Chain A
Amino acid sequence: MGEPVPERGVRTEELATRLEPILSRYRGQAGGLIPLLQEVQGELGWLPEEALRLVAEATGLTLAQVVGVASFYAQFYFQPRGRHVIRVCTGTACHIRGAPKILERLEEELGIGAGETAPDLSVTLETVNCLGCCALAPVVVVDERVLKKRDHKKLWEWIRKRRVE
């Protein structure tokens, strides 16, 4: 997500222009709602209310129907996301090899809970269920990179530095 992340209160016209190439391919197709939402979120990084309205308009669904579907799935975000995303695996193997403790410590040091984003949009903390590399449990992923155990120390240092800044 190198693209600029829109802040809250984006202007609808600007958004409409930016999303038009995506929306035009799904116009009138209610069945394509999920891939459409995925593409819009891929473009913006999250789903602002204005974007949801545009999606509703394009597909011919009501806003309630669109939000009803979007809110059902864990992958759709209704808040802007941080520039960095830290994900802690809370899958079974990671759970029994100490994920809860890591999560607790991250929450404490970052000052945000799981599923939250720091107010300065620097970082988002999330949990996921099994990333499929249980052998490395407990797994922490920073921006799609899986941390090996010996990298955990670097993570703590990075967090500490961030706090000083």
Chain B
Amino acid sequence: MKLNSPEELFALRDELSHRGDRPRVRVCCGTGCRAAGGEEVLAAFEREIGRHGLDVEVTSSGCQGWCERGPLVAVEAEKVFYLSVDPQDVPAIVDHTLRRGLPLPRLLYRDETGRPVPWRDEIPFYRKQLRVVLRNCGRINPTDIRDYIRVGGYSALAKVLSGMSPEEVIEEVKRAGLRGRGGAGFPTARKWAACRAQQERPKYLICNGDEGDPGAFMDRSVLEGDPHSVIEGMTIAAYAIGDVPEGYIYVRAEYPLAVKHLELALRQAEEYGLLGEDILGTGFSFRIEIKRGAGAFVCGESTALMYSIEGKRGMPRQTPPRSVERGLWGKPTVLNNVKTFASVPVIISRGADWFAGIGTEGSQGTQVFALTGKVRNTGLVEVPMGITIRELVYDIGGGPREGRIKAVQIGGPSGGCIPESLFDVPVDFDSLQEIGAMMGSGGLVVMDEADCMVAIARYFLSFTQAESCGKCTPCRVGTYRMLRIMDRIVEGNGRIEDLEELERLGRWIKETSLCGLGRSAPNPVLTTLRYFREEYLAHIEARHCPAGVCRSPGHFRINPEECIWCGLCAEACEDGAVRRTRQGFSIDPRLCSGCGRCRAVCPTGAVLFTEEVAV
């Protein structure tokens, strides 16, 4: 079915959305729910509904957000939202909810008082969220273009093609204040306008779906759960920039389902005349091709990504010339993140003022976070910019699972660790930069007292060090040297001078590296040094890891001359390694895990540490 004009699209949309609401059951088959058994639940629904001969539509959806409690099932007509559904629960759901219109309390969310909460929007996890980028994720069937059209999809494209000039489109995006969601927050309209102004032809458009942050999955969720919004956003961008015959979507290697859904979406969009030659009969043409990444974090960087598409090693180059001047195949190129493109259709449909009204002065709109770590509710969340970290962690995340929350790590390997004392800082591009962190990818990992900040910083550094492409010396050699020092500290062999050396190296690497990888790689170490220095000192001076994570290679022993038999060490030891005998206290090396707690509590300094002699 080919749509030959914008009017035909609007007519189809109206027809689809008015076609009486068949009761609809949406089973989440996003990454988290799929892994938890979403597909089996979907199959069980199909079987059960078929058996009863009910007129109910069962579809799979993309990520509905609350991965922690998956598989999630939304029965839309009844406004009932079930958590942790097992295939065995399905007959009861069909019987109660679909046939008799009753909720099934045991699968509902319960608030603190134990009262069941039937519908999604009243659950605290969802209440403070505002879904703009994820507007369709989990609410439509990503494998059916008609479902996207039904909820207003491609209407923005039709609106643009039937009456807006490219300049007007850019102006609208500019007034909305849209900043790139790939991490750095560069104003999107400025990038488009700069590329539009270039004389060289043709131009190219690229969607960055590399998502290399080792704790992030929002771009993946958008590509899997709402691929058409990205395609629509790219097509609008191509029109605004002009002379762009072709665009690429660069998808990370680990995301096969995203590729599958995108391929399907591209095919359907072409069939409907919404992509390819003569889109909606307006004479405008644009094609999109998928490029699969081959596994390199640095390929998320714009110039590296372009080399990778050209079939070369993905190594960043010096800028300028900027990509908008000389990008892919040496031609002017615009590169934007998945979420940036996905935001464009709503800006056009609902207007720049609406979008600009969300968020803060300098950071309009919303931000998507992958909330993980030591909170009760983990999953994918989208909130207006300017919300505080505290609201994210406590209201949406539901607070700690146990113990006390100590910090959050925001922005992945290029971001920083933020202590509890700064949780009232608003989350926006500029405020985060001020406290040494970065919006980065939008990874948000919550850490409690059982996490060692030194070890976390070392973890991120080991990641960036391994992913450094090696082209420039500060990053290649500098991160390696920092990592060796961090290793030493974690192992209990640190020296006090190491801290200054880390700071000096970190500053240099940030200032002199070629690309954003090196320029941000020291952030996790520098922020933890700034906010959690006492943990570094404990590792160095007391050879003790306060969180009990790091093990030192060596052994502890008690010096009987100094021991006053207070027994504090025995109390502190979680391994039961401190023995009490007639002769006094001693440590059984076979049970000792080397946490160093005994040494930290000893009032007389009787616990000695002997380094292991290298063999």
Contacts and interface: CB of A to CB of B under 8 A. Distances in A.
B314 A132 contact: no
B217 A73 contact: no
A91 to B, nearest CB: 4
Interface centre among A74, A93, A134, A136 (most CB of B within 10 A): A134
Nearest to B470: A72
Contact of B214 (A69, A76, A91, A97): A91
B350 interface: no
B379 interface: yes
B547 to A, nearest CB: 10
Interface stretch (B143-151, B292-300, B336-344, B531-539): B292-300
Contact of B215 (A33, A38, A134): A134
A131 to B, nearest CB: 6
A47 B123 CA distance: 50
Interface in A66-110: 68-69, 72-76, 90-93, 95-97
B312 A133 contact: no
B92 interface: no
Contacts of A34: 291-292, 294, 308, 311
Given A35-B292, A74-B295, A148 B221 contact: no
B372 A146 contact: no
Given A68-B313, A75-B253, A92-B445, A130 B296 contact: no
A90 B311 contact: no
Given A92-B409, A92-B412, A133-B32, A38 B294 contact: yes
Given A74-B296, A92-B409, A96-B445, A69 B370 contact: no
Interface string B443-467: 1010100010000100110010000
Interface in B207-242: 212-217, 220-221
Contact of A134 (B217, B253, B469): B217
Interface string A104-138: 00000000000000000000000011111111110
Given A75-B253, A92-B445, A133 B217 contact: yes
A91 B412 CA distance: 10
Contact of A30 (B34, B311, B412): B311
Contacts of A139: 35
B121 interface: no
Contacts of B296: 72-74
A132 B252 CA distance: 12
Nearest to B255: A132
A130 B292 contact: no
B294 A74 contact: yes
A31 interface: yes
B378 A93 contact: yes
B36 A136 contact: yes
Nearest to B329: A31
Interface residues of A, number: 35
Nearest to B221: A132
B7 interface: no
A96 B295 CA distance: 23
B68 interface: yes
B348 to A, nearest CB: 29
A47 to B, nearest CB: 12
A34 B373 CA distance: 35
A134 B370 contact: yes
B372 A134 contact: yes
Contacts of A30: 311
B312 A129 contact: no
Nearest to A130: B214
Interface string B9-44: 000000000000000000000011011110000000
Given A30-B311, A72-B313, A131-B254, A136 B35 contact: yes
Contact of A90 (B214, B253, B310, B374): B214
Contacts of B469: 72
B70 interface: yes
Nearest to B257: A132
A145 B104 CA distance: 30
A135 B372 contact: yes
Interface centre among B34, B215, B255 (most CB of A within 10 A): B215
B108 interface: no
A52 interface: no
B372 A92 contact: yes
B294 A135 contact: no
A51 interface: no
Given A92-B214, A92-B443, A96-B456, A132 B312 contact: no
B67 interface: yes
A75 B67 CA distance: 27
A32 B217 contact: no
B459 A133 contact: no
Contacts of B36: 136, 148
Interface in A18-51: 30-35, 37-38
B310 A91 contact: no
A37 B217 CA distance: 26
Contact of A132 (B31, B374, B412, B463): B31
Contacts of B35: 133, 136, 139, 146, 148
B200 to A, nearest CB: 19
A73 to B, nearest CB: 4
B445 A130 contact: no
B311 A33 contact: yes
A64 B81 CA distance: 57
A65 to B, nearest CB: 9
A35 B216 CA distance: 25
A35 B259 CA distance: 14
Contacts of B67: 133-136
Contacts of A133: 31-32, 34-35, 67, 217
Contacts of A75: 253, 293-295
Contacts of A38: 292, 294
Interface centre among A31, A93, A148 (most CB of B within 10 A): A93
Given A75-B293, A93-B372, 20 more contacts: A34-B311, A35-B292, A37-B294, A38-B292, A38-B294, A72-B469, A73-B296, A73-B314, A74-B296, A91-B214, A91-B215, A95-B459, A96-B445, A129-B214, A130-B216, A132-B221, A133-B35, A134-B32, A134-B217, A134-B378
15 contacts: A31-B311, A38-B294, A69-B312, A72-B314, A73-B295, A76-B295, A91-B215, A93-B215, A129-B214, A132-B217, A132-B220, A132-B255, A134-B32, A134-B370, A148-B35
Query: Nearest 6 A-B pairs (CB), nearest first?
Result: A92-B215, A132-B217, A74-B295, A135-B67, A73-B294, A129-B214
